[in-house]
Structure 1
């Protein structure tokens, strides 16, 4: 049976919440509105103020756009499912959500990697920063991040779409690629090889880049002046916190997909599976909005005018 012959997929992680579903709906709706408002606000702030048209803030703008996109690929679907009594989704929409979720994750990881390189140049090579990180280079890096993520996600989905499925039950509250692969009764060798190649050529390379950047930054902090240490702390703290938050959520998502989590309460499993898709776009505007001096000053001036 080809995957295209499966007309719908059942999301069996949902459970009957009775009247509490309206409370959950309001909570999820409030979180989504908060994510949309905060990310859109910071995108407008960065785009409308020429003083923020610098590499660091342009990368931040790309990060906020991606988080707006990623949360929109998840939250409206969750809201519908919370109110629904039948938790099924068409195969086409399931693959559409897989594209949104994995594309979001790829762009997020790539952007955080590029931002760590940007922070390395700013702190370790301050005299060469303006020549090595020009506006044109920012555009090229951002375009590469988004285009490569599209290509990688499309290839992954193309491999999954050709699989023969022996079931239609996904043990999650949303669709993801590994859940589809686990339903396959045909050979998944190519899918596994692609996953391994992607991990070692992309994810490991990004981890090496991030670790190298922060090792050099720490070296400068310990050997530099107090002003250098202050600059490094103020600019790197939100980025490092964002990176750790994303890694924490992705780790739980991987563990839940690959290992038996039946002993973990269902509600906790749902929260852990949604963590990397909800907490990152929720916390990043707060992290960067409060820690980036220029953004904080502009927000305060807007508050006084209002």
Structure 2
């Protein structure tokens, strides 16, 4: 469908647009750097080839998908005179944003399950969290949401449209549905089912997991409680941060609340802007294993660079002496 859609929330290029562009650019570049660094640390250090860090690696990939699906287009529209997008690109953006959101919740749920098994069933941990089971869980985490969301996006793309303006900074499923001239009853019901399966159920599972972890920790020794707190704190911060960002996004997309333009801009991009940036930073700062691994890798690289420079200098000195 060769149709161009117009975004109406940007306004003409001005001080606010350029300020948001600079903030978005800095955050996006920092997000890419932080997530790629985290992924490289996990790949290069074999001591981190454990379930928790494998899930964290996938969370970093998911964050890059979410950021890259939206932020480059937002930055382009902020400084361009024409704030438009092709209909096919809009549908693709909807799909990628939904994949980012649902898969992030699913991965965070796996991480909560890993913490539950580690703390509540420590003697059975290696028998439960086997490599085969991890691969199966990751396959389900990606395959089930992607297939389900593909159906939703297909249903949305089949709707006839009679409006061509989107009062948002980027495309989301509800915005595209609102362009249609007909009511999408089955699509709405299907969307509610997706929210229940991929948002509500994971939320309940994470809450129940941490309730169980809390009870077990209260009956454990002081050192065991401290260890549980250290291992669970990064995940809790990440999960709460992502849940709040998702809540802001739902409020912005579903309800017409009279807010200032600045607040609307923040609420619309918070879901895409903040979590992918904070997740690697939280784990990089709060997780001792990752911090130590990054330090060791940097030390090895610096030592190797110093050794190569010394070797090169010796070779140049020998060459200079031989030519005299």
Q: Larger Rg: 1 or 2? A: 2
**Matches of 2:27 and 2:224 in 1, distance apart?**
37
Distance 1:21-1:264 versus aligned 2 partners, 3 A rule: closer
1:291 to 2:280 alignment: no
Aligned pair count reads: 301
1:99 Cα deviation from its structure 2 partner: 1.2
- Measured against aligned partners, the alpha-carbon deviations of 1:168-188 in whole angstroms (never above 9, x if no partner) come to 111110001011112222131
Decide which moves more: 191-200 or 214-223.
191-200
1:55 to 2:51 alignment: yes
Alignment match, 1:25: 21
**Matches of 2:27 and 2:116 in 1, distance apart?**
33
Alignment match, 2:233: 237
Where structure 1 has 5 or more consecutive residues not aligned to the other structure, the ranges are: none
Distance 1:278-1:103 versus aligned 2 partners, 3 A rule: same
1:165 to 2:133 alignment: no
Alignment match, 2:92: 96
Alignment match, 1:66: 62
2:217 to 221, 225, 233: 221
- Measured against aligned partners, the alpha-carbon deviations of 1:191-213 in whole angstroms (never above 9, x if no partner) come to 11101222233322212211110
Alignment match, 1:16: 12
Alignment match, 1:266: 261
- Measured against aligned partners, the alpha-carbon deviations of 1:140-171 in whole angstroms (never above 9, x if no partner) come to 11121111121021111011011122311111
Alignment match, 1:175: 171
* C-alpha RMSD of the superposition: 1.5
- Measured against aligned partners, the alpha-carbon deviations of 1:252-280 in whole angstroms (never above 9, x if no partner) come to 1111122112x201121111111111110
Decide which moves more: 193-202 or 87-96.
193-202
Are the equivalent residues in 1 in contact too, given 2:102–2:145 (CA < 8 A)? yes
Alignment match, 2:295: 300
1:304 Cα deviation from its structure 2 partner: 4.0
Are the equivalent residues in 1 in contact too, given 2:102–2:199 (CA < 8 A)? no
Normalising by structure 1, report the TM-score.
0.94
1:16 Cα deviation from its structure 2 partner: 2.3
Where structure 2 has 5 or more consecutive residues not aligned to the other structure, the ranges are: 303-324
Segments of 4+ in structure 1 off by > 6 A? none
**Matches of 2:266 and 2:171 in 1, distance apart?**
15
- Measured against aligned partners, the alpha-carbon deviations of 1:122-149 in whole angstroms (never above 9, x if no partner) come to 0000000000001111111112111112
Alignment match, 1:145: 141
Distance 1:161-1:244 versus aligned 2 partners, 3 A rule: same
1:22 Cα deviation from its structure 2 partner: 4.1
**Matches of 1:164 and 1:210 in 2, distance apart?**
39
Any residues of structure 2 matched to 1:117-132 within 5 Å, and which?
Answer: 117-132=113-128
1:35 to 12, 25, 31: 31
1:249 Cα deviation from its structure 2 partner: 0.9
1:27 Cα deviation from its structure 2 partner: 2.3
1:20 Cα deviation from its structure 2 partner: 5.4
- Measured against aligned partners, the alpha-carbon deviations of 1:9-60 in whole angstroms (never above 9, x if no partner) come to 1111102242554443332211111001110001011011110000000000
**Matches of 1:24 and 1:185 in 2, distance apart?**
33
